[in-house]
Amino acid sequence: MQNKSIAQLAADLRLRTYSSVELTKHYLERIKRLDPALNSFITLAEESALAAAERADQALKAGDAGPLTGIPIAHKDIFCTKGLRTSCGSRMLDNFVAPYDATVVEKLAAAGAVVLGKTNMDEFAMGSSNETSYYGPVRNPWNQDLVPGGSSGGSAAAVAARLCAAATATDTGGSIRQPAALCGITGIKPTYGRCSRWGMIAFASSLDQAGVMARSAADAAFMLDEMAGFDRRDSTSADVPVPDYVDALDDDIKGLRIGLPKEYFGEGLDPHVARAVQEAIDEYQRLGAEVVDISLPNSPLSVPVYYVVAPAECSSNLARFDGVRYGHRCDDPKDLEDLYKRSRAEGFGAEVQRRIMIGTYVLSAGYYDAYYLKAQKIRQLIADDFKRAFEQVDVIMGPTSPTTAFPLGAKMDDPVAMYLNDIYTIATNLAGLPGMSIPVAPVEGMPVGLQIIGNYFEEARLLNVAHRLQHATHWHQAAPEGFE
C-alpha cells in the first residue's frame, strides 16, 4: 500500500479494497516500526488519525468523498494544529497546544485527509540539515549517517520512507526543495502568498511559504489543489484564482523553453550532481523541450542578502516569545527583564539565537541603511534578473543543492558553510517565485534533485513539467532500502 500513488489509494478506497482505517493503521504500524531509526516524527496523533479515518470511511460509503478523503498525511510541526502539540522543533514550544488550526491544516482536514502526526524540523525552520531540532536530528532514509536536509527534514524523510502518503512543509530559503532533493522526493514551494500563512509559525514573513512533499508531481498536485487559495486571515495572501493542478499534469511540453542559468552550474557544484542534472535536461530535450542559456547575474548575492533579510524578520517575529503568554518560562525570575532574557536563552537553541542577534544587529540604530535597505535593493535586482529571464524562457532549471546529503555533524560548527547549502534555492524565495525539486539519477546511491523554477503563479506548469519527466522516467519511484 505504501508505494501506491494518491490516485491509486483513492481508487482503492472507493472500491473498498481496504478502508481508510486499515490504511491509517498500516501507516501507523510502519511509523512505530521504522521511525525510531529516522526520528522523522515529533508527535504521533494515533487516536485522532483513527477517528478521522472512520469519518473518511463514512464519507466514502456515502459517496461524498474527494481525492484526498481517507489519505494519511503528516504536517510539519510548524503548522498549528488544534488540540495537538505544535512545537516548531523548539524547547520554547515544547508544551504548546495551539488553540486553532492553521488554514492549510483546516483545508486538508476539510478535504478528508487523515493526519498521522507532526514531523520533525530544524528549530523554527532555521537550518539546512534538521540538526537544530530540540527533538534531535532526523536521519536520511537512504543512509542513516547522513542528514536529510532541512528545515523540513522530517517531512522529507517520512515521505521518502513511505511513512505517510504526503506531507506539508514550508520553504523560506530552500526548506522544501533542499530536503526533497537530499531525500529523493518531489517538493514544491509555491509562489509567495499562494498558500495561506495563517497558523504557520512565522520565521521570515516576506519569504515564508507553505508547500508539499510527495513522492510524485501528481501526488503533489492533489495536495496543492486543496491547500492553495486566498485567505482573508493572512494579510499577504494572494487573491489570484487557483487553477486545477491535477488537470494540467498531462499537458504537452513540446516547445517548452528551459533556461539554464550559468551561475547555477559554476564553481562549487559537485561534478557528479552536475552530470545527473544534465542527464535529466537531456531527457527533457528528447521530450521536445528547447534549452536556452541564460544568466542571473545577481543570484550569487542571494545568500548574503538572505542573511540580512531573514534574520531581520526573524528577530522581529520571535520577539513574541517572552515567557509570559505562552511557551517556555524560566524558573524563579528575579524581575521582568530576567524573565525575558532567561526564558528566551533557555527556550531557543544556538542557531535561533545567532539569527535573532544578527537580525537585531542589522536593524539597530545606525545600521539599517547599510544592511536592511541595501539588502532589499539587491533583492530587487535579483527579482529583476528573473523577470528578464522569463521574457526568454518558460521555466528555469538547475541543481537544487550543490552536493548530495552530507554526514550528520559535518557543518554544525560552521554556520556559513551550512548556509551555502541553499545557494541555488534562496534567490527564488527572495523574488517570491515558485520552485520545485524532483529526483533525478542518484550519485553513489544518494538522491539528487533537479530544481525547476517557474514564473509567478505558474505552479500548474511546474507540476506539469515535473510530471512529464516522471511519466517518461522512473527515478522518482526508487525507494530507500529497508523502507520499500
Distance between CA 306 and CA 21 in Å, rounded?
44
Least CB distance from residue 365 to another protein, whole Å?
10
Q: Pick the piece of the chain touching another protein (CB under 8 A) from 102-110, 111-119, 392-400, 425-433.
A: 425-433
Distance between CA 156 and CA 134 in Å, rounded?
18
Among residues 149, 426, 71, the alpha carbon closest in space to that of 264 is found at: 426
Task: Produce one character per residue of 74-93: b if its CB has 16 or more CB atoms within 10 Å, e if not.
Answer: bbbbbbbbbebbbbbbbbbb
Least CB distance from residue 420 to another protein, whole Å?
9
C-alpha cell at 183: 531525500
Site for another protein in 146-165 (CB under 8 A): none
Distance between CA 105 and CA 75 in Å, rounded?
8
Site for another protein in 374-393 (CB under 8 A): 374-381, 383
DSSP 342-356: HHHHHHS-HHHHHHH
Select the residue interacting with another protein from 415, 443, 478, 479 (CB under 8 A): 415
CA angle 71, 72, 74 (to 5 degrees): 135
Among residues 184, 182, 150, 183, the alpha carbon closest in space to that of 169 is found at: 150
Q: Does 242 bind another protein (CB under 8 A)?
A: no
Nearest CB to another protein, comparing residues 155 and 302? 302
Cβ atoms of 229 and 364 within 8 Å: the answer is: no
Q: Which one is catalytic: 19, 133, 151, 343?
A: 151
Least CB distance from residue 416 to another protein, whole Å?
5
Least CB distance from residue 45 to another protein, whole Å?
19
Q: Which DSSP letter does residue 364 get?
A: S
76 is known as an active-site residue: yes
Site for another protein in 428-467 (CB under 8 A): 430-432, 456
Q: Pick the piece of the chain touching another protein (CB under 8 A) from 29-37, 142-150, 253-261, 372-380.
A: 372-380
Q: Which residue has the cell 482573508?
A: 232
Let me know how long the chain is: 484
Instruction: With H, G, I as helix, E, B as strand and everything else as coil, classify residue 142.
Output: coil
Q: Does 266 bind another protein (CB under 8 A)?
A: no
343 is known as an active-site residue: no
Nearest CB to another protein, comparing residues 270 and 322? 322
Select the residue interacting with another protein from 41, 135, 340, 390 (CB under 8 A): 340
Q: Which one is catalytic: 19, 20, 40, 76?
A: 76
Least CB distance from residue 237 to another protein, whole Å?
8
Select the residue interacting with another protein from 2, 151, 186, 191 (CB under 8 A): 191
Nearest CB to another protein, comparing residues 62 and 416? 416
- CA-based diameter of the chain, in Å? 70
Q: Does 267 bind another protein (CB under 8 A)?
A: no
Q: Does 34 bind another protein (CB under 8 A)?
A: no
Site for another protein in 201-230 (CB under 8 A): 206
Burial class (CB in 10 A: 0-12, 13-18, 19+), 164: buried
Among residues 250, 172, 105, the alpha carbon closest in space to that of 425 is found at: 172
Cβ atoms of 133 and 57 within 8 Å: the answer is: no
The count of residues interacting with another protein (CB under 8 A) is 72
Q: Does 345 bind another protein (CB under 8 A)?
A: yes
Q: Which residue has the cell 532541512?
A: 150
Nearest CB to another protein, comparing residues 33 and 232? 232
Q: Which one is catalytic: 20, 175, 299, 302?
A: 175
Q: Does 192 bind another protein (CB under 8 A)?
A: yes
Beta strands 209-214 and 257-261 are unpaired
Nearest CB to another protein, comparing residues 206 and 403? 206
Least CB distance from residue 52 to another protein, whole Å?
22
Q: Does 419 bind another protein (CB under 8 A)?
A: yes
Cβ atoms of 126 and 102 within 8 Å: the answer is: no
| H or E element that contains 30 | helix 20-34
Distance between CA 261 and CA 239 in Å, rounded?
31
Site for another protein in 87-116 (CB under 8 A): 95-97, 99
Site for another protein in 270-299 (CB under 8 A): 298
C-alpha cell at 370: 547599510
Interface mask (CB under 8 A) for another protein, residues 294-333, using x and -? ----x-xx-xxx-xx------x---x--xxxxxxxx---x
Nearest CB to another protein, comparing residues 353 and 473? 353
Least CB distance from residue 478 to another protein, whole Å?
35
Least CB distance from residue 131 to another protein, whole Å?
15
401 is known as an active-site residue: no
Cβ atoms of 74 and 168 within 8 Å: the answer is: yes
**What phi, psi does 339 have (nearest 5°)?**
-60, -50
What residues are annotated to the active site?
A: 76, 151, 175
